[in-house]
Structure 1
Amino acid sequence: MNVELITRDDLERFKKELLEEIRRFQAYPRKRGEEPRAWLKSYEVRKLLGISAGTLQNLRINGTLAYTKIGGLMYYKYEDIQKLMDGE
Structure 2
Amino acid sequence: MSQEVITKDDLEKLRRALIEDIKILIRSSEKDNDEWLRCADVRKLLKVSTGTIQNLRISGKLKSNKVGGIHLYRRSDVENMILGKGK
Of structures 1 and 2, the one with the larger relative CO (CA 8 A, separation 6+) is 1
Q: For the aligned residues, what is the CA RMSD?
A: 1.0
Poorly superposed stretches of 4+, deviation over 2 Å: none
- How many Å separate the matches in 1 of 2:67 and 2:73? 11
Aligned to 1:58: 55
Aligned to 1:28: none
Amino acid at match of 1:74: H
State which structure, 1 or 2, has the greater radius of gyration over its C-alpha atoms: 2
Instruction: Name the structure where helix makes up a greater proportion of residues.
Output: 2
Aligned to 1:75: 72
SS of equivalent to 2:71: strand
SS of equivalent to 2:60: coil
Identity of aligned pairs, percent?
A: 44
How many residues in Structure 1 have an aligned counterpart in Structure 2? Answer: 52
SS of equivalent to 1:47: helix
- How many Å separate the matches in 2 of 1:83 and 1:48? 13
The correspondence of residues 1-88 of structure 1 with structure 2, limited to 5 A, is 38-88=35-85
Amino acid at match of 1:40: L
Gaps of 5+ in 2: 1-33
SS of equivalent to 1:75: strand
Gaps of 5+ in 1: 1-36
TM-score in terms of structure 2 length: 0.58
Quote how far apart the aligned CAs of 1:72 are.
1.2
